[in-house]
Chain A
Amino acid sequence: MSATNPIKTKGLNVAAIREDFPILQQTVNGKPLIYLDSAATTQKPEAVIQAMDEYYHKYNAIVHRGVYALAEEATARYEGARKKIQKFINAKSYREIVYTRNTTESINLVAYAWGRKNIHAGDEIVTTLLEHHSNIVPWQLLAKEKGAALKFIDVDENGLLRGEQIETLVTEKTKLVAATMASNVTGTLTPIKQIIERAHAVGAVCVVDAAQSVPHMPVDVQSLDADFLAFSGHKMLGPFVGILYGKRALLEAMDPFLGGGDMIREVFMDHSTWNELPWKFEAGTPAIMEGIAMSAAIDYLNALGMDHVRAHERDLAAYALDKMRDVEGVRIVGPLDADQRGGVIAFAVPEVHPHDVAQIFDREGICVRAGHHCAMPLHEHYGLAATTRASFYVYNAPEEIDKLVETLAKVRQIFRG
C-alpha cells in the first residue's frame, strides 16, 4: 500500500489493525495479499490465534465433566466466552446463548426444534428474496413436511425489501418470519425492527439471520426484540463456531435438537429428561477451543468499537461504489447508497464470467468470491447466474479498493475482443 497520502475512513486506524493480522503480511503471486472475501470468512488477529494455541498447549481438556484443574479451566473459559457473547449482543441471560457449528446450524436448530412443534398444515412462513440458502432451505423442508406455505418478500429496483409486502405478506396465517439483517450479496440492510414488530403484531416469531450484521455493526437483541438470532464466529474474527440467540421462554418451551451426551439431565431406559438451558441444545462434545477463542475475537471488536467498525465499512463501501461506477459497463447489484448497505459489493462485468473475473483478480493477489454466494433466488431475480463479490472488514483500506478498481479495468481490457 502506498504510504503517501493515505485515504482515511472515519472509523478505524487500518494500518495499526493490519499489524495484528499475520496472514495479511504475505504476498500472493508476488503481490501483497488483498483479502476481500470477509463475507465468506474473516481473517483472525494474533490474539485469537494465540488463544487457540494456548488452549492446546496449556489446558486442553473436556468441558463440564472433569473435576481436575485442566477441565475446570477449560470449562471456565468456555462458559466465560459465552457470557462475553451474551454481553456483546446484549442478551438478558447467558442461558439464551447456544453454541452451534455455524449460522446454518443455528437456523436449522430453530426449524427443527421450534418449527416442528409449532408449524402446522395451512400455516405460513414468510422469508425474503435477500436470504442466504441457509435461511431458505430449512424453511422449505419444514413447510414441505408440515404442509405449510413459504412466502417471499420481494426486492425493489434499488435492492431494498419491498416495505409494503412486510405488511401484506405477514398476516394472521403467518407463524414464523425468517429475515436477514444484512444481505451477503447486495449488502442491503433490511428494516429488521419493522419486520420483527410486524411478526409480533400477528403473533408470529421472527428468526433473524445476523451472519452479516453482528460482525459489522452494533446489534442489541433486546432493543430489536428478536426471538431468535443466528450468526457465525468465523465471520467476526473468530474460529469456526456458530451462535444461536433465543429468547429464554421460547427455548424453554422447545424440545431438544440433537440427542446425546451433555444435553440430558437423566437418562432412563424408556425416557430422558433434559439439561438446563443452554446445554439442552448442545449435545455431544462441543468445539471447545473454538468457543473459548470467541472471547479474544469479541475483545478485539470491543476494543475497536462496533460503531467505528460500521463507520469504517460504510466509508469503504461509499468509496468503492463511487469508483466502481466509473468503470464502464460494470453492473453493481443492490443499493448504491452506502447508508443502505453493509461492506459487501457484488457486481457483474458484461460478457465476462465471474470465474474469469476472480481468476484475473487472483493474479493480482486479490481474493474475491465468484458464484451465486448461496443466494440463487436473488441472482435469479437479477437475471444473473453468478456475480463477483468483494467484501470488506476492519483490516481493509481504501488503497485496496483502488487496486480492485484498477484490476476491474484490466479485466475489461483482457476481454475486449
Chain B
Amino acid sequence: MDDLYRELILDHYQHPHHHGEIPDADISYEDSNPLCGDKIRIDIKLKNNIVEDVKFNGKGCAVSQASASMLMDELIGKSLDDIKKLDKQFILDMLGIPLGPTRIKCALLPLKVIKAGVYGIQTWPDEEDDA
C-alpha cells in the first residue's frame, strides 16, 4: 500500500510502546519541533548508567510518534555513551521509510530530545555535521 504509512509505522503510532511517564525519572526532557509545534517529553530511569526504563509522552504525527515508540524499544539496556553515538542514519534505518526534508525533522525529534536531555546537545541530529 502506502510506503510511508506502512503497517509497522501505523502500528507504533496507534499502539505506542513505552508511552507514559516515569515519576522518579533520573532524566526528563521535553522539546518541540518549531516547524509544527509537535512536543515530545522523555523520561529515563538509569541503573549504573544503563537505561533501565524509558517512557515518552506527547502529541505528534505518525512519523514522530512511531519514531519515538521504536526508539524507546532500542534504548533499554543501552549506556549513555551508546545513546550519544546514535545518529540520523540510525533513525532512518530503524524506521525504514522514505522521508523528505520536512518530515525528517518529525522522525528525528525523539532522538533530539534524548540527546538534549542526556548531554545537553541542542543541535538536530541531521545538522551535527555542519554545526
Stretch at the interface among A120-128, A138-146, A252-260, A369-377: A369-377
A355 to B36, CA, bound (A): 8
Stretch at the interface among A57-65, A187-195, A235-243, A356-364: A356-364
B38:A385 contact, CB within 8 angstroms: yes
B14:A360 contact, CB within 8 angstroms: no
Determine the chain B residues whose CB is within 8 A of the CB of A417 once the complex forms: 10-11, 14
Least CB separation from B39: chain A residue: A385
A353:B61 contact, CB within 8 angstroms: yes
A371:B2 contact, CB within 8 angstroms: no
* Contacting residue for A414 out of B2, B38, B65, B103, CB 8 A: B2
Number of interface residues of B (CB under 8 A): 19
Count of A-B contacts judged by CB separation below 8 Å = 48
Q: How many A residues touch the partner, as a band?
A: 10 to 19
Determine the chain A residues whose CB is within 8 A of the CB of B103 once the complex forms: 355, 359
A414:B36 contact, CB within 8 angstroms: no
A415 at the interface (CB under 8 A from B): yes
A130 at the interface (CB under 8 A from B): no
A372:B2 contact, CB within 8 angstroms: no
B1:A372 contact, CB within 8 angstroms: no
Known: A360-B5, A414-B2. A370 touches B36 (CB 8 A): yes
Determine the chain B residues whose CB is within 8 A of the CB of A359 once the complex forms: 4, 103
How many whole Å from A370's CB to the nearest CB in chain B? 7
Determine the chain A residues whose CB is within 8 A of the CB of B59 once the complex forms: 353, 385
B5:A386 contact, CB within 8 angstroms: no
In the complex, besides A352-B62, A371-B36, 13 extra interface pairs with C-beta distance below 8 angstroms are: A353-B38, A353-B59, A353-B61, A356-B63, A359-B103, A360-B2, A385-B59, A414-B2, A414-B10, A415-B5, A415-B10, A415-B62, A417-B14
Interface positions of A (Cβ within 8 A of B): 351-356, 359-360, 363, 370-372, 376, 385-386, 414-415, 417
17 A-B residue pairs with Cβ-Cβ distance under 8 Å, sorted by A, are A351-B14, A353-B59, A353-B60, A354-B61, A355-B36, A355-B60, A355-B63, A355-B106, A359-B4, A359-B103, A360-B2, A370-B36, A371-B37, A372-B37, A415-B5, A415-B10, A415-B62
